[in-house]
Structure 1
Amino acid sequence: MRLLLTSDTHLPKRAKRLPAPLLDEVARSDVVLHAGDWADTGTLDLLESRSRRLIAVYGNNDGPELRARLPEIAYADIGGLRFGVVHETGPAQGRETRCAARFPDVDVLVFGHSHIPWDTTAPTGLRLLNPGSPTDRRRQPHCTYMTVTVSGGSITEVDLRRLPPR
């Protein structure tokens, strides 16, 4: 099963549209997970229309229209794993311990907010993934998203995808 992880699209503030490689990946993915900060409902509408399955949350920059359509935290069983999606997890220091305590029944936690790609595993086995941002690299060298392959009830591949400069 192929997953696309994205977050912090911030359209149209940071970019006018989603990058073509990301949209191409939507078509190839079984599930798209978006960890918030859409900033506009048009992007949500687009991903809803193009995704086979969309699991998404709102972020701190999302207004009332998005908050009315999306939860703060989403949970889904995907390929034998229990996924959680949330926008903010707090500071990097102590993240694994804090998230393992907050999400004890989750195997994989997808989060955003920082625009900094992240892939770690807590001592409890919780995998934490932040795909960065496909439209706003901030202090990162590249805009990014992630693809994840799930097979036999486990993650077999995580790939951080760098987007070409705009």
Structure 2
Amino acid sequence: MRILMMADTHVPKRARDLPEQLWAAVEAADVVVHAGDWVEVELLDALEGRAARLIGCYGNNDGAALRARLPEVARAEVGGVRLAVVHETGAAAGREERCAAAFPDTDVLVFGHSHIPWDSTTASGLRLLNPGSPTDRRRQPDCTYLTAVAADGHLTEVRLHRLPRRGA
């Protein structure tokens, strides 16, 4: 199962739409994961129409319309991998310990909020992934998203994709 992970799209506040490269990746993926801060429900509608399967949660910038359709924490099994998706995990310091305690029956936790790509594994084996943001790099050198493959209960081929800067 090919998985595409994104977060903090902030459409249309930070960009009018997702980059074309990302839309192509959405259409190639078996599962699309969005870890919150959609901002407008139109992006949820568009992803539901173009993704084979969509798993998402709401973020702190998402209003009532998105919160009515999305959970605070999404959970799913993908290729035998127990996946959870949440927007915020708190400060980087102590993140592994907090998340391992909060998500004991999870193999992979996808999160957003910071716009900073993150890939770490806790002592208990929980993998933490933040895809960064495909539309708002903030203090990062590039806008980013993640892809991976889930099969037989394992996540492999995790890759951070850097998007070209607008106008470049």
TM-score range with shorter-chain normalisation? over 0.9
Structure 1 segments, 4+ long, off by >2 Å, are none
Q: Counterparts of 2:13 and 2:155 in 1: how far apart (Å)?
A: 33
Q: Counterparts of 2:126 and 2:164 in 1: how far apart (Å)?
A: 31
SS at 2:4 equivalent: strand
SS at 2:148 equivalent: strand
Q: Structure 2 matches for 1:19-98, cutoff 5 A?
A: 19-98=19-98
- 2:31–2:53: 8 Å Cα contact kept in structure 1? yes
Q: Percent identity among equivalent residues?
A: 66
Q: Counterparts of 2:20 and 2:94 in 1: how far apart (Å)?
A: 35
SS at 1:145 equivalent: strand
Structure 1, residues 55-101: CA drift from partner, whole Å, max 9, x if none? Answer: 00000000000000100000000101100000000000110000000
Partner of 2:104: 104
Q: CA deviation at 1:151?
A: 2.3
TM-score of the superposed pair, with normalisation by structure 1: 0.99
**Are 1:160 and 2:149 an aligned pair?**
no
**Are 1:13 and 2:17 an aligned pair?**
no
Q: CA deviation at 1:48?
A: 0.3
Q: CA deviation at 1:118?
A: 0.2
SS at 1:85 equivalent: strand
Please provide the CA RMSD for this pair. Answer: 0.5
**Are 1:140 and 2:166 an aligned pair?**
no
Q: CA deviation at 1:27?
A: 0.7
Q: Which runs of 5+ in 1 are unaligned?
A: none
Q: CA deviation at 1:161?
A: 0.2
TM-score of the superposed pair, with normalisation by structure 2: 0.98
